[in-house]
Amino acid sequence: MSALRIGVAGCADIALRRMLPAFAASPHTEVTAVASRSAAKARSAAGAFGCAAVEGYDALLERPDVDAVYVPLPVSLHAEWAERALRAGKHVLAEKPLTARPADTARLLGLARELGLVLTENYLFVHHPAYTVVRDLVAAGTIGEVRSLSASFTIPPRPADDIRYRADLDGGALLDIGVYPVRLASLLLGRDLTVHGATLRHDTARGVDLGGSALLGDPATGVSAQLLFGMEHHYAAGWRLHGSEGSLALDRAYSPPADHRPSLRVERSDGTEERVLPAHDQAAEAASAFAVAVRRGTGDDAAVLRQAELIDSIRRTAHRTRI
C-alpha cells in the first residue's frame, strides 16, 4: 500500500528533532509538506526533507497531497487545528496531550468518528518494544502479583521565555511533563485507575504549576501508582513496578534516543538481573503505528479519553501550594 502522506503543522523542536526524521525514515509514511507561520522557517525545515514549504496552516489543510496532519503546536492550539484538519478531511496525530480539557478531547474524538477519520495523540514511549518485554514478564509471573507503581519525570528549570511557563498556551508541568507518568500508569496498571489525591506547586506570577505529585489507584484490585513530576528538579525519568515477589525498574523511560539500549532491572528474592534490551527508534515506531491505525480506520479513542479525564481530575482535585 502507498505511504501515508503527512503534512506537518509547525516547526516545533519535537517535530524537527524526532518526528520529521521518523516520518521520513518509516516506509509507511511520507512527508509531503511542512507549514509554518514563517515562510523562512517552513523553507528551512522542508529543505532538509525534500518536501514542500507552506506558509500558514490553512494552506497546508488545502493541499490534496496531504492525507494526515501532524500537530506539534502548543497545547492551547491543539483543539483548534485538530478540528480544522478533521473538517478538511485529514487524519490527525497531535502532540500530547491532545487537548487541555476532556470535553474538547471527547468532542474531537466524536467528530473524527463521525467523519471516518483517525485522531490520536503522540506518546512515543508506548511504542517502545521494552514495554512488550515488561508486559511479558508480568504475565509470566516474574514479579508475582502487581501491587504498585512508582514513577517520576522531572527536569531542571527552563529558560524564562520557555512556552512551558506561559499560561495562555496551556503551559505548566502537569500538561507538559506529568502526562507521561500518568500515561505510563494506565499502560502498566490498566485504564480503571482513578485519582485518589494530588498536589501542585503553583507559580502565581506566571499562572502555571511547576511540579506536583499524584496518587492513583484501581478500586477493584487495590493496585496504586505514586507519580512525581516537575520542572524545577534534578532530571529523573524512571519507574519501578512493585510485585508480591519482585520488582521491575527502568530508567530513561520516556524519551530515550534511538541508539539507547534500555537496561531493565529485575529484582527477586533470589537475586537481581540487569537485562540490556535492544535499541529502538520509538519515534519511527510511532509514525508507523499511526499509519497502520489510519489504514485500519481505528485509533485508541478509549485510551486518549481516559488520559484526558485523569489529567483533568488531577488538576481539579489537587491541593495547590502557591508560591
3-class secondary-structure state, position 218: coil
3-class secondary-structure state, position 6: strand
CA angle, corner 220, sides to 310 and 218, nearest 5? 25
HSE-up (13 A, CA, CB side) for residue 246: 19
- Name the grid cell of 109: 474524538
Measured CA to CA, the distance from residue 270 to residue 276 in angstroms comes to 19
First CA to last CA distance, the chain: 55
Size of the chain, expressed as the number of residues it contains: 323
CB atoms inside a 10 Å sphere around CB 302:
10
H or E element: which one contains 236?
strand 236-243
Closest CA to 123 of 178, 197, 76, 196: 178
Q: List residues with catalytic annotation.
A: 96
